Structures are given as structure tokens and as C-alpha cells.
Amino acid sequence: MTPETEALAYPIGKFEMPLEYDETQIRKWIERIEVSPKWYDAAIENMDEAQLLTPYRPDGWTVMQVIHHVADSHMNAYIRFKWALTEDCPTIKPYHEKQWAELPDVFNVPVNVSVTILHALHRRWVALMRDMTTEDWKRAMVHPEHNRRMELWQLLAMYAWHTKHHFEHIFRLRERMNWL
């Protein structure tokens, strides 16, 4: 990957798992999850169909695919939180995100439906997380593709990065294309 392509693929840098956390960091990550649906509202505001079908980088997903992907991904994240909170270190089921991004619903359902899902889902997810205890944040799950145990605070850190990562794909595309 060229430096230019990498900058388009990872506009805020690649995710780096933090080694530790504190209550302040947890609050910041939760706040990012809470506000991000509004970012996506703004990101797609006044975009026409041609713009929604524009890839954010060469050989990348279209804006439409990115929006639907974030909804798919965050639905999985919410379920993973619930599994980890109610089961003893469950092994989660991964999904093929690239294949999901090619399914017919991605192309046949308006993107605002997935943004609406994000508003409702993040409201539930944030309510769940705000009531979690220190012990709850240490509950874990196993991701079989990575063959590692992940504690819920680590999952939160990853999804706080993830929501900003994909928002920046769209926002920076709008800047480059002068669609602001």
C-alpha cells in the first residue's frame, strides 16, 4: 500500500490497542459512541445518489457501503457486549464484513435507514455501558479469528476508534471532492 493509499484507508491511523484504561477514558470512549450517529447524519447530509455510490478511496467501499457497514458492525458489537456480560468468556461468531457489504440490502435500502439504526442502537448501547461496573469492564470474550481474549473495555476502545475511522472516510472524501 502506498503512503497515499494508506492515508486514505486509515485517516486517523491504524487501531492500536491501549495497554490500560481508567474511568475518564471509558467516559470519553462512551461519549464518542454516543455522539457518532450525529456525525453520520452530517456526513451524508445532502449527498445525492452518485455521491453515495462514490468509493472513499480507490478500490474501497462506497459511502453507502461504509454507512451500512458501520450499522452492521455496531449491531455485532452490541450483541458481543451482551454475550460477554451474560456468559463466561464466550467465543463470539465473526462475520465476513466484505461479503456483508455486497449483499442486496446494502444497495436497496437507503443509507438513512442505517443511520437511524445507529441512533437507536447507540442509545441502547450507551445506556448499557453507563451502568457497567468496574468488574463488568473486565468481562471478556474470545474472538476466534484473532485467537485472543478481549475484555469489554478493549472492545469499547476498538469501536470508539472504528466509528471515528469510518466517519473520517466519508468526511475526508467530501473535503477532497469539495462536497461540503
Q: Where are the domains of the chain?
A: 36-177
The backbone region for 78, taken as left when phi is positive above 0, alpha when psi lies in -120 to 50, beta otherwise, is alpha
pTM of the model: 0.96
Q: Which CATH class is domain 36-177?
A: mainly alpha
Instruction: Name the residue with cell 459512541.
Output: 33
pLDDT digits 0-9 by tens, 35-52: 999 999 999 999 999 999
Percentage with pLDDT > 70 across the chain: 100
Give me the mean pLDDT over the 5-33 stretch.
96
pLDDT digits 0-9 by tens, 83-132: 999 999 999 999 999 999 999 999 999 999 999 999 999 999 999 999 99
Task: Say what the pLDDT of residue 3 is.
Answer: 87
Residues 6+ positions from 32 with CB-CB distance below 8 Å: 160, 163, 164
Judged against a pLDDT cut of 90, whether residue 147 lies above it is answered with no
Judged against a pLDDT cut of 90, whether residue 11 lies above it is answered with yes
Q: What is the DSSP letter of 66?
A: H
Pairwise CA distance, residues 27 & 29, whole Å: 6
| Cross-strand pairs, 140 | 151
